[in-house]
Amino acid sequence: MDTLTGMETFIAVAKQKSFTGGAKMLGISTKLASKYVAQLESKLGAQLLNRTTRSVTVTELGRVYFDRCVAILDQYNELEGVIQSKQQELAGPIRIAAPTSFGSNELVKALDLFKKNHPRVSIDLQLSDKRVSLVEDGFDLAIRFGELEDSTLVARKLLNMSVVVISSPEYLSRMGVPKHPDALSTHDCLIFSSSVDPMHWKFKQGRTIFAVPITGSFRSNSPEAIVNMVLSGVGIGRVPSYLVKDYIERGDVNILFEDLQTDDFALNAIYPPNRHLTSRIRSIIDHLVDYFKD
């Protein structure tokens, strides 16, 4: 084990507060992660982690060493990136977090093209509709919908994703067609719980933006689940347009309030501001910007 490997392993275990979690993050076995950290502690002559049967915590000395390790590894990665940029060939891992439906449908198309152009880059794409902590969970960047809430992160906009309000013909024939968003108060609205303000839907009339309070009997953090419930005739949903384009063309769902365009979801690439971006990270962000611009 070299010192850099030990430092990387220690950081991963400390972030995950678990040897199993840290090992999974690095793609190695738990036994090997434990071995690397023990060797590092032996080399330093200091205990970095407190181990119990239930948890792993960082010692006071380990916290000081952790902060220095992060800075050193960032500098190392930056230096590695400089060399790669001179060689014109990118290599190394990129760990990305993204929403489940968008990540598995649209994002993978962009990543596939990037991989073909840079075969020595390895991508670890983790899909979840829950917001992850980039630093603590060890991600290089995240793809997120909506405005940036955490001011400690940097956002680079990829695109504005149009949003539509939809319902099935069966539901509308049973419950009636709302003529204006204000009428949504009398309808069963399907709630996307991961949005910034899930209990209000925004609409735009000219330059005026107004919000309508909604209620409903179903909520989910997955927009695909909302779409499926709309198709089943449960209620009215508000989802990114890319998810329902085919259903709209086939007549399986109807768009409501087309003359009152709803606000768009901004799609951003998010990364920590204090991290020196390697050439491969900068390149993949630039690639995503260009890809979604087209």
What digits encode the pLDDT tens for the residues 114-129? 999 999 999 999 998 7
Section 140-165 average pLDDT? 81
pLDDT at 85 over 60: no
CA atoms 66, 70, 71, 77: torsion sign:
positive
What mean pLDDT is predicted for residues 137-152?
76
Residue 119, helix vs strand vs coil: coil
Greater confidence (121 vs 222) lies with 121
Total domains in the chain come to 3
Q: What CA–CA distance (Å, rounded) separates 122 from 233?
A: 42
The pTM score is: 0.62
Q: Give 179's pLDDT tier (boundaries 50, 70, 90).
A: very high
Q: Are residues 58 and 96 in the same domain?
A: no
Of 260, 100, 267, 265, the residue nearest 165 (C-alpha) = 260
Say what the pLDDT of residue 86 is: 54
Task: Provide the CATH number for the domain around residue 30.
Answer: 1.10.10.10
| 283 & 155 share domain | yes
Residue 1 pLDDT grade (very low, low, confident, very high; cuts 50, 70, 90): low
Rounded to whole angstroms, what are the CA distances from 14 to 11, 33, 36, 136, 226? 5, 11, 13, 9, 37
Which residues partner with 268 through β-bridges? Answer: 144, 157
3-state secondary structure of 139: coil
Indicate whether 242 and 112 sit together in one domain.
Answer: no
**DSSP H/E element including 194:** none
Are the C-beta atoms of residues 142 and 103 closer than 8 Å to each other? Answer: no
The encoded tokens of residue 179 equal 């003529």
Whether 6 has a pLDDT exceeding 90, the answer reads: no
Q: 108 is in which domain, residue-wise?
A: 89-159+266-293
Q: What is the CA radius of gyration of the chain?
A: 23
Token pair 């199993």: residue: 20
Note whether 146 and 274 are same-domain residues. yes
Measuring CA to CA, which residue among 173, 163, 168, 164 is closest to residue 253?
168
The burial class, CB within 10 Å (0-12 / 13-18 / 19+), for 167 is buried
End residue of a domain, out of 48, 67, 84: 84
Extended beta strands in the chain, E state: 49-51, 56-58, 92-98, 121-127, 141-145, 154-161, 163-167, 191-192, 200-205, 208-213, 219-220, 237-240, 254-256, 265-271
User: With 80 as the cut, is the pLDDT of residue 165 above it?
Assistant: yes
Tell me, what's the pLDDT at 228? 95
Domain shared by 218 and 230, yes or no: yes
| Boundary-marking domain end, from 84, 107, 131 | 84
Phi, psi of 4 (to 5 degrees): -60, -40
Spatial separation of the C-alpha atoms in residues 294 and 290, rounded to whole Å: 7
In this predicted structure, the answer to whether residue 92 has a pLDDT above a threshold of 80 is yes
Residues 59 and 197 in one domain: no
What is the chain's mean pLDDT, rounded?
86
Q: Are residues 53 and 29 in the same domain?
A: yes
Query: Same structural domain for residues 38 and 66?
Result: yes
Strand partners, 163: 240
Interval 256-282 mean pLDDT: 79
Residue 239's domain is classified under what CATH number?
3.40.190.10
**Pair (170, 112) in one structural domain:** no
Confidence bin at 160 (pLDDT 50/70/90)? confident
The secondary structure element, H or E, covering residue 187 is none
- Cβ(181)–Cβ(201) below 8 Å: yes
Mark whether 96 and 240 lie in a shared domain: no
Q: Are residues 177 and 253 in the same domain?
A: yes
Q: Following CA atoms 76, 77, 82, 87 in sequence, which dihedral angle do they give, to the nearest 10 degrees?
A: 110
Tell me, yes or no, whether 258 and 183 share the same domain. Answer: yes
Portion of the chain with pLDDT greater than 70, in percent: 91
- Asked whether the beta carbons of 32 and 47 are under 8 A apart, the reply is no
